[in-house]
Structure 1
C-alpha cells in the first residue's frame, strides 16, 4: 500500500512538472528576434496624410472588450516589460518604425493598424485593430526596410489556441491578461497605471470589467481548442477569414451547432486597385464595399448582438446593434482609392534589366495575359475590371477554401428572419434562387450578406446617413451582391513583386517557384522573416531561430496548380513548360508591370 501511495505521489508530481512546463511555454512564446531596420523607406503610393489616415482610423473593432489603456499597461507574464512595447510587438510581425514615438493619432506608440475608438455614451476607449494591420507589408534588404502600403502583412495575429511553440499574438495576449489578473502584484501595478488618481474609487470596478474581458478571451481559447476548430496552423501572414467570421457570427453568437472546422487559411490580399474590381474576396463572393468592410470588422472583433437580454431574437429596427463605425469605414475606403501599386525601387533593390524585361513582356502576353488582364468597362463614375474566375478543377490550387465557403451550411432559424422581409433587402444573390431560402441550411456567404445588411441598416441610422448619402457609403450604389463559385480570382499583377508569398494560401514562396512545375517547388519552407530575395521575388526561406515551418502537405496548404510544365493542359496545368531563362525574363517584367518604368522598355 505504501509503495502504491509513493507511486501515486510520484505520478502527481510528474504531472505537475509537465503542467508547469506547458504553462511556461504557453505563456512564454518562442518568437523570432527583431532587429530594427536602418531606415524605413516609403514608396510613392500616396501622401503621408493618406498613410496616417489608413494606419490609425478606427473601424469599430473591440478585441473582446479590451480597453486601449489596459493594453498599454499590460506586462509580460514573467517580467515587468510592457506587452505593448513596440520592440516586443514587432517580434510577432507587426510593423513599427525604428525609434518611433507616440503621436496624437497613435498615443500608445503602437504598430501600424492599432487604433482606438469610443462608443457613443461610453467613456471607455477600446483597442481597435484595423484593416491596415493585416494589409500593410514590409520588405527588408541590406538592412533597409521598404514599406508596402496595402500589401500583405506577415504577422501572427489571430489564434489563441495554446501551443508549446507559441508565436501567436492571440495566445501571448491571453497569457499576459491571465497573469495580470491572477498575480496580485501585477494587477496592483496595472491598476495604478490605468487609474492614476482614481485608483481608490475605481479599483474594484476595474477588476470586475477586466475579468469580464479575460473570461471572453479564455472562453474563446478553450472553445477553439477543445473543438479543434483550426487544425491547420495559420502562421505568419494568414488567417481563415471566412471560417473565423462564420464561427464568431454563427457559432459564438447563435448556436454551438454552427461551429465548423476552419482548415483553409488564406493570405491577406493586397488592396491597391481593389475598388475597381467587379467582385472581391479570393473566391469572388462579395461585391459591395461597405458590406465587405463590415464583414471584415465583425471578423476582427466588432460587437454584434442578435438577441436581447432575455435571449429573445431582436426584431424590426432593433436589429442589429454593433460597434461598427460606417463613416470611418467609408473614409478608409475612399482613402484606398488613392493608393497606387508599389513601383520597384531600383536604388534599394537593384536596377531593372530593360532588354530582359522586354522579352518578359512578350512572354507575359503569351502565357499570362489571358487570365491576368481583365476586361475593363466604365460603369457610372468608375472604371470596372471584370476579373477572370478560374474553377478549382482548372487552376488546380488547393480547393479547401473555395469548397468550405461553398459547402458549409449554418442554421440561422433562431434569428426568426421573415423570408418576405429578406426579399426586400438590398441583397442580390447570383444566381437568383428559384426556391425560397432555407434558413436552416444557409451558406456562410448568404448568411453574412443578410447579417451585414441588417448591421449596415442599423449603423447607417445611428450615424444619421441620409438616403442621398447611402449610395456613396455603400460604394458606387452597389447592392450587397453574393456569389458562391468554387473558383479563385485571377487579379491584375501590378505590384505583384511585393506581395509574397503566392497563391491564395501563401503556399509558394516566390514568383520563380510559381512559374515552375510543382515538383520544383519547396514542399516545406520557413516563414516569419521580412528578408526579401529580389532575384526570385519572394521572402527568403532559410531556417532561422523560431521560424514557422510551412508544410504544403497539410490540408489547406497544398502548393499544387497554376503550373507551367510539359504535358496535357488541365487539372492545374495552365501553360507550357517555361525554360529557366524565360522565367527570369518574366520576373524582370513583373518588376515593372503597371509602374512608370514599363513605358521605358524597348
Structure 2
C-alpha cells in the first residue's frame, strides 16, 4: 500500500508539473475589462481583491523577490499567466505592491507554532471567487463569481520547486539575498534557514494536502479534503488521518450567499463565520494544533475574524451579474418568457425563483432564502465528495481538549473531528475580541444556536440568477455550457477544453474547441458529468426532468441568460418587507 501511494505521489507531481510552466502574460488594459453593475463601488472591489483573511503562505519578502525555479524571472510576475491564471490586480491603497487579485499581505503579529511573527503572502476568497469571461478580446469581470483559470494546486507545487531551487542553486540564492538586503554571512545564513523552514510547510502542502491522482485543473479545488487534511492530519501531526483530494469542485458563486440558508455545495454550515474561518483553514491559516496545551499555544491562530465578518457583510450587498447585451448579444424576451414558464414547471421546485421563497423569521426576525437540497441518489451527479473523507479519524492528543461529550474520544468521524478542531480555534480567536452579545449575534450572521444538523449526501440547488456567468457547470465543473445541462446526460461532451472564449449561444465553453489551457476529462475520478439529466423515464437516479424538445432547451437557455432581469438588483438580507414576500 505504501509503495502504491509513493508511486501515485510521483505520478501526480509529474502530471502537475506538466501544466504549470512559468509563463508571464500581459495584464489586461483598463479598456479591455468590462465591469458589470453588481452594486459594488470601486472601493468595495479594491478592498475585496486584497483584504487579508489571515492566510500566511510564504514570507512576504521571499514571495516578492524569489525567482521561478528554472529562470531569473520573478515568480510573482508569472502568476497572471496561463500557468496559474490569477486575475491581474492594480496598485491601490489596499494593494500597494500590485499583487494579483486574491493574493494578500498578511501580518502574523504574534508567532504561532510553525509561523514566526512577520509579514506573509497569503490568499483570500477573491482568488477563487473572482474571474473573467473572455469574448472577442474583451474580459467581462464577474465579481464574486468563479475563477475558471486559477490553478491553485499548480501554484503550490511550483512554489515548492521554487524554494528548493533557491536552496540548491548558489547563484539563485545570492540574487535573492541581494534583493532583500541580506548581504552579510550571518544574514545569508538566517535567510537560508528561513527558506528551509518555509519549504517544510509548502512541501507538506504540495505533497500531502493537495496531492491527487490527476490534476484538478484550473478553477477547481477539493476544498473539502484540503481543510480536513490540514485540520486532522497535518497540523496535529496525525498522518494516519490523511485523505487524498478526489472530489474537486468549482467554487460556488457568492451573490446571495449571505442571504441563503446554505452556501456550500454539500450544505455543511449555515453560520457564516464558521464557514469563512473554515475556508481559511484550508489555505494556509496559521493554527497551532500540536502544542501540548492551550497555555503553550494550542488552538492559537491568525484568523482575521473581523475581516471575515466584513467580507460577508459586503457580499450581502453584491448583485448577481446581468447579461451585457451590448457585448454578448440581445436577449430574445419572448423566448425568455417561454423559458421562464418551463423553468417554473421543471426546475423551480429545487432552484428558487425571484422574489424567492424564504424561511419563516427566526428569533432575530431574519428570514433566509430557501435553497434546494437534493439527495445525490436523486440528482445522480458525481458522488466523490460523499466518499472523500474517512469514516473515522484518530483524535490523538487533541482529544483531551475537545468540547463536551467528544472529549477523550480516541476516534471520531473525520468530518466531525475537523469541525470540532476548527470550532475550538475559532472561539479562541473570537474571545480575544471581547465582543458584546449583540456583536456576537451579528458576527454569526443572525443564525440561531445550535445550528441544524447538516443533511447527509445532498447537493445544493441555489437560485439561478447570474448562473450564465459561471461556466463550466455542475458542482464539479464537468459540463461545458448551459445547453448541455438540458440534454440527456449520456449525450454530453466527455472531454472539453477550458480557457477559451465564452460561447454566448450555448452559454459557457464551446465543447468543440480544440484549444485551451486545460483538457477537462469527465471520465476521471471526481470528474463525472452524469446526473441532472433531462430524458424519458421515471424521476430519480439522475433523471431530473423529461426529454425536452430542442426549442424548449433554447427557451430555457434564453431565460437563464435573462436573470436577474434588473441590473444591480441586490437581494435584501434578512428578507424583504412582509408585504413583498411571494405567495406560498
- TM-score normalised by length of structure 1: 0.84
Of 373-382 and 569-578, more deviation after overlay is shown by 373-382
Q: CA RMSD in A?
A: 2.8
Q: Which residue in the other structure is 2:371 paired with?
A: 387
Task: Return closer, same or farther for 1:470/1:32 CA change in 2, 3 Å cut-off.
Answer: same
Q: Does 1:498 align with 2:469?
A: yes
The 3-state SS of whatever aligns with 1:596 is: coil
Q: Which residue in the other structure is 2:380 paired with?
A: 396
Structure 2 CA distance for aligned equivalents of residues 199 and 338 of structure 1: 52
- String of CA shifts for 1:326-372, please: whole Å, max 9, x gaps: 11111111111111100111111111111111111111111111110
| Contact 1:139–1:530 (8 Å) recurs in 2 | no
Q: Which residue in the other structure is 2:103 paired with?
A: 114
Q: Does 1:170 align with 2:152?
A: no
Task: Return closer, same or farther for 1:593/1:512 CA change in 2, 3 Å cut-off.
Answer: same
| Contact 2:79–2:100 (8 Å) recurs in 1 | no
- Segments of 5+ residues of structure 1 without an aligned counterpart are 1-18, 160-167, 424-435
Structure 2 CA distance for aligned equivalents of residues 335 and 132 of structure 1: 13
Structure 2 CA distance for aligned equivalents of residues 250 and 550 of structure 1: 30
The 3-state SS of whatever aligns with 1:155 is: coil
How far the C-alpha of 1:480 sits from its partner, in A, is 6.7
Structure 2 CA distance for aligned equivalents of residues 289 and 257 of structure 1: 30
Q: Whose Rg is larger?
A: 1
Task: Return closer, same or farther for 1:336/1:575 CA change in 2, 3 Å cut-off.
Answer: same
Q: Does 1:258 align with 2:244?
A: no
Q: Which residue in the other structure is 2:224 paired with?
A: 242
The 3-state SS of whatever aligns with 2:258 is: helix
Q: Which residue in the other structure is 2:419 paired with?
A: 449
| Contact 2:391–2:413 (8 Å) recurs in 1 | yes
The partner residue of 1:595 within 543, 565, 573 is: 565
Task: Return closer, same or farther for 1:108/1:201 CA change in 2, 3 Å cut-off.
Answer: farther
Q: Does 1:536 align with 2:506?
A: yes
| Contact 2:25–2:81 (8 Å) recurs in 1 | no
| Contact 1:191–1:199 (8 Å) recurs in 2 | no
The 3-state SS of whatever aligns with 1:275 is: coil
Structure 1 CA distance for aligned equivalents of residues 564 and 367 of structure 2: 16
Q: Which residue in the other structure is 2:579 paired with?
A: none
Count the aligned residue pairs: 543
Q: Which residue in the other structure is 2:206 paired with?
A: 221
Structure 1 CA distance for aligned equivalents of residues 480 and 261 of structure 2: 28
Q: Which residue in the other structure is 1:204 paired with?
A: 189
Q: Which residue in the other structure is 1:105 paired with?
A: 94
The partner residue of 1:152 within 138, 143, 146 is: 146
- TM-score normalised by length of structure 2: 0.86
| Contact 1:395–1:571 (8 Å) recurs in 2 | yes
How far the C-alpha of 1:594 sits from its partner, in A, is 2.6
Structure 1 CA distance for aligned equivalents of residues 206 and 558 of structure 2: 45
Q: Which residue in the other structure is 2:546 paired with?
A: 576
Q: Which residue in the other structure is 2:165 paired with?
A: 179
Q: Which residue in the other structure is 1:348 paired with?
A: 327
- Segments of 5+ residues of structure 2 without an aligned counterpart are 1-9, 112-116, 570-584
Task: Return closer, same or farther for 1:28/1:372 CA change in 2, 3 Å cut-off.
Answer: closer
